[in-house]
């Protein structure tokens, strides 16, 4: 249990000994800074006593974390591409690995920005909003089959001042979609069905945004063949994928008459399929 007395450092030590996962100390620091209403680094070097109210709030949050609730759900948001993104149990928590898609988009459009952006399976809207934050004249469309997820995305767009350039639509991938886009972003469900996941993910994140069929590739089989009709000339489609899927996806793109390459994330792992219209 979190002690009822002691300074913030003793609270952090006690909480870190209780919290599961790979980053118990960081989790404890984030939760305590929230309870104290202080920025994390300022909290670590500060000397303001912990009030009984803050201590109780911290203990309640630690109890939630012990039950494997993600820190992002407890705090209500997760930073992505330096943007505060609100998250709920209706959307995936944005991962740092997914920032690779934005980095690759910036590299592709180094000579000139895209005007139109499509985010398939938008979830919290993190990818679309990160892209719009980089290109002030671009407009974007996010599609998701979950209305609850779309409500989160719309709220994030408004909170970030991007609501005027971001539209969100209920839909099943590209069904009923018209037109072409210069930048297409997609982080589809790519985990093979039946894969055992960490409790933080399995118990608290939407299965429909995680599992992609027997081999995890079902969404790509549907979407990649549609890219010749969806990509504008000079555009690029960027798909996130999981371990061991790169070559199958590259072959899938080539079979659809597309040029394809693979980009690695910051850890050096193949992470993003870059698809360009052939010719």
Tens of pLDDT, residues 135-189: 999 999 999 999 999 999 999 999 999 999 999 999 999 999 999 999 999 999 9
pTM: 0.92
Helix (H, G, I), strand (E, B) or coil at 50: coil
Residue 279 has pLDDT above 60, yes or no: no
* pLDDT bucket at 43, cuts 50 / 70 / 90: confident
Q: Residue 2 has what pLDDT?
A: 64
**HEC states along 137-178?**
CCEEEEEECCHHHHHHHHHHHHHCCCCCCEEEEECCCCCCCC
E-assigned strand segments in the chain = 77-80, 83-86, 116-120, 139-144, 166-170, 181-186, 231-240, 258-264, 270-277
Helix (H, G, I), strand (E, B) or coil at 242: coil
* pLDDT bucket at 207, cuts 50 / 70 / 90: very high
Looking at per-residue pLDDT, the higher value among 134 and 51 belongs to 134
Residue 21 has pLDDT above 90, yes or no: no
Q: Residue 196 has what pLDDT?
A: 94
* pLDDT bucket at 114, cuts 50 / 70 / 90: very high
Helix 99-108 to helix 126-134 angle (10° resolution) is 30
Domains of the chain as residue ranges with CATH: 8-67 (1.10.8.10), 89-277 (3.40.50.150)
């Amino acid at each position: 249990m979190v002690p009822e007395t002691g300074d913030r450092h003793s609270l952090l030590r006690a909480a870190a000994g209780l919290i599961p996962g790979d980053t118990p100390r960081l989790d404890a620091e984030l939760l305590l800074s929230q309870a104290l209403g202080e920025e994390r680094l300022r909290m670590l070097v500060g000397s303001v006593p912990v009030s009984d109210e803050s201590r109780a709030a911290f203990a309640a949050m630690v109890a939630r974390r012990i039950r494997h609730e993600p820190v992002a759900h407890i705090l209500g948001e997760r930073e992505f591409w330096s943007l505060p993104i609100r998250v709920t149990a209706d959307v995936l928590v944005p991962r740092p690995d997914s920032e690779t898609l934005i980095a690759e988009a910036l590299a592709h459009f180094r000579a000139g920005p895209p005007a139109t952006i499509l985010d398939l399976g938008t979830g919290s809207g993190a990818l679309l909003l990160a892209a719009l934050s980089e290109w002030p004249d671009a407009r974007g469309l996010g599609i998701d089959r979950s209305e609850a997820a779309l409500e989160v995305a719309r709220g994030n767009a408004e909170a970030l001042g991007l609501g005027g350039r971001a539209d969100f639509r209920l839909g099943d991938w590209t069904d009923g979609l018209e037109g072409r886009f210069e930048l297409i972003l997609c982080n589809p469900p790519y985990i093979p069905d039946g894969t055992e996941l960490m409790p933080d993910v399995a118990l608290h994140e939407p299965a429909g945004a995680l599992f992609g069929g027997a081999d995890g590739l079902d969404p790509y089989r549907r979407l990649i063949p549609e890219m010749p009709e969806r990509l504008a000339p000079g555009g690029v489609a960027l798909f996130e994928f999981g371990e061991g899927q790169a070559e199958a996806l590259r072959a899938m793109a080539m079979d659809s008459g597309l040029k394809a390459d693979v980009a690695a994330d910051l850890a050096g792992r193949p992470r993003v399929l870059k698809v360009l219209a052939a010719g």
